[in-house]
Structure 1
């Protein structure tokens, strides 16, 4: 058995068939999700110019991701992850196909867009719940830090490609980005069908019956509650991800208010995403040399600098994207460091629930930040909510400076 594990670990990731299938399918699917981050707000802003309505629809998506995270984690630990992947991609495909049809026939309504955002967000949460358990199955332990770094790189690359593609397609035809997104969501469906490795848990015989679903929902939170480090990270991720949701939304509103075209808005997001791509490429090296506490302190400082720079009124769309990219740069390394800690310490039977407990926390305030950012932008302009987010990042930076963690401790 040890010899088999040694042979498996010696195979590089680039030759791991199932990992490459999963990585490719997820990359295409995430590109579709990022196309939507430009296409939906631009559709609403073009129709009636309301940042509040655009924020409402974006907020609905984040509410669905938040509300579905806990049950999705329990499902991923109890039912076939292959089937859950198929279900999640079909939910997302159905939602975007309905928006495609409505846009093509000029029958879009706010209620329909909100409902589609709820369904797509729930599908996204279900897809996310399977990611960490799936990675444990298809990647040997010695390669997981590298694989986690590549996961961040995949997301950053999708974030780099999706928004400008969405902007260009929307400039050509308003329905075109939704057609492209529908095709992208087929990527995970194809990957889920083609992966040969048993993804569990239903693929393996159980030695004891699983807990009832309500009990399973609590187990992940109980595990997190027992660790002071995990409790702190729950709060940190909730505030940072909520602020990031508002920051990403305000980038679109800010560029639109400054007269940028849809393609220029997409280009600004792509330029900003370059910061995340570069950060993802550097994440393996950064996490190998820096403790997570130091990474968080550095990341908090860059968040403050980047968000303040975005408020400069004379900044063109491209340079606004550069400021956004500065804010993003170190966040992939922080994510890799924390996920590696979870993979090393959390039992496999709890991986889905614990990871989605953290994901639920990370998404818990996104809807509030996006909706508040849209309302404040309508009342006082996008610079006011941007400055408020900068103040929050500054408070988090101060908290990280005050907090002490042993440098041999969690997140190494």
Structure 2
């Protein structure tokens, strides 16, 4: 985690320096963006993997929910703050990034509790470690269910947000209104993150997962009808209201189910599948919106969520009783 933050500090400090020197170019910006995303993925996967080592097992779902709230909060505050800083001076947003990652490094360095068990005497090679993670996911009914639910669900939600923005642009909607639309969607997720602990205590992970899949399918169909206006964002905001509770419940149980030494490997497999599908969604949304229409594109994404709903409904893995939550924290 420290190494990932250090890479991002260097990348953004370099970009800020090139802007000051008047030598910033689009290829350089793309390289920095790729480096930042790669380091962020490494940091995020590790963060999820070590959570079990520093949080009592019975508090894992609440911890995941709080992290979700942090993410949605930052997604709401970050863009306007970045725009404000960019208006003052073009280098300021990137200098602010440097200080934010330095702050993250200080926070990580202040953690005194061991984040994982001791390493094996002879660490496995990368290929063997990845294969072990894939085998473990394939052999656990609960993890298989999560994999086949998360991939189409992430794909669809990421795609519909992009579709709404593109459709509003094509209808000549003012940029401020488009920004308001994205804010409405983000607020739904933020409120849902704060409500997640209460929802987790009321419903089991399987119930929450089926609920979000079934409700999301219906809401995406409604959003397709409302496609030409800002109202199309409201059903998506309601969908994201349910998402943090579902994520917290599933990842809390995943952390409790998976042995410590496999946490990172299993999460890498899950994130790779879900993230790959999600990354492809904007491209597909743009192509479909150009060839057909925003409404038709929304219907296709609704069909993808319906696939998740079917898996969540028929999966025996989700219905298996959760294992006993036992803490693995070590003495500092």
**Conserved 8 A contact 1:251-1:269:** no
Q: Which residue of 1 aligns with 2:154?
A: 241
Q: Which residue of 2 aligns with 1:323?
A: 235
Q: Which residue of 2 aligns with 1:351?
A: 263
Rounded Cα–Cα distance in structure 2 between residues aligned with 1:345 and 1:214: 23
Rounded Cα–Cα distance in structure 2 between residues aligned with 1:371 and 1:217: 28
**Conserved 8 A contact 2:72-2:190:** yes
Rounded Cα–Cα distance in structure 2 between residues aligned with 1:183 and 1:267: 28
1:147-158 maps to which residues of 2 (within 5 A)? 147-158=63-74
CA offsets 1:119-159 (integer angstroms, 9 cap, x no match): 12211111012112322222222322322221222222223
Match for 1:303 among 213, 216, 220? Answer: 216
| Alignment partner of 1:389 is 2:301 | yes
Match for 1:368 among 261, 280, 284? Answer: 280
**Conserved 8 A contact 2:145-2:315:** no
Q: Which residue of 2 aligns with 1:195?
A: 111
1:263-274 maps to which residues of 2 (within 5 A)? 263-274=176-187
Rounded Cα–Cα distance in structure 2 between residues aligned with 1:315 and 1:236: 29
The alpha-carbon distance between structure 1 residues 200 and 297, as it changes in their structure 2 partners (threshold 3 A), is closer
Match for 1:115 among 25, 31, 52? Answer: 31
TM-score between both structures, scaled by the size of structure 2 = 0.82
Q: Which residue of 2 aligns with 1:232?
A: 145
Tell me the CA shift for residue 397 of structure 1: 2.5
TM-score between both structures, scaled by the size of structure 1 = 0.68
RMSD: 3.1
The alpha-carbon distance between structure 1 residues 346 and 402, as it changes in their structure 2 partners (threshold 3 A), is closer
**Conserved 8 A contact 1:163-1:269:** no
| Alignment partner of 1:135 is 2:51 | yes
Which segment is superposed worse, 393-402 or 329-338? 393-402
CA offsets 1:168-189 (integer angstroms, 9 cap, x no match): 5567777655454444333322
CA offsets 1:34-90 (integer angstroms, 9 cap, x no match): xxxxxxxxxxxxxxxxxxxxxxxxxxxxxxxxxxxxxxxxxxxxxxxxxxx122123
Rounded Cα–Cα distance in structure 2 between residues aligned with 1:244 and 1:277: 15
Tell me the CA shift for residue 250 of structure 1: 3.0
Rounded Cα–Cα distance in structure 2 between residues aligned with 1:247 and 1:379: 16
Rounded Cα–Cα distance in structure 2 between residues aligned with 1:146 and 1:292: 13
Match for 1:279 among 183, 192, 206? Answer: 192
Rounded Cα–Cα distance in structure 2 between residues aligned with 1:260 and 1:401: 39
The alpha-carbon distance between structure 1 residues 245 and 189, as it changes in their structure 2 partners (threshold 3 A), is same
Rounded Cα–Cα distance in structure 2 between residues aligned with 1:377 and 1:179: 37
Q: Which residue of 2 aligns with 1:336?
A: 248
Rounded Cα–Cα distance in structure 1 between residues aligned with 2:50 and 2:196: 21
Rounded Cα–Cα distance in structure 1 between residues aligned with 2:223 and 2:102: 36
- Structure 2 residue matching 1:409: 3-state secondary structure: coil
- Structure 2 residue matching 1:211: 3-state secondary structure: coil
Rounded Cα–Cα distance in structure 1 between residues aligned with 2:298 and 2:90: 28
Rounded Cα–Cα distance in structure 1 between residues aligned with 2:49 and 2:172: 45
Q: Higher relative CO (CA 8 A, sep ≥ 6), structure 1 or 2? A: 2
**Conserved 8 A contact 2:257-2:323:** no
**Conserved 8 A contact 1:306-1:325:** no
Which segment is superposed worse, 111-120 or 387-396? 111-120
Count of paired positions: 322
Rounded Cα–Cα distance in structure 1 between residues aligned with 2:292 and 2:24: 31
The alpha-carbon distance between structure 1 residues 123 and 219, as it changes in their structure 2 partners (threshold 3 A), is same
**Conserved 8 A contact 2:215-2:239:** yes
CA offsets 1:4-37 (integer angstroms, 9 cap, x no match): xxxxxxxxxxxxxxxxxxxxxxxxxxxxxxxxxx
Tell me the CA shift for residue 256 of structure 1: 3.4
Gaps of 5+ in 2: 325-332
Rounded Cα–Cα distance in structure 1 between residues aligned with 2:320 and 2:40: 35
Which segment is superposed worse, 378-387 or 225-234? 378-387
The alpha-carbon distance between structure 1 residues 275 and 257, as it changes in their structure 2 partners (threshold 3 A), is same
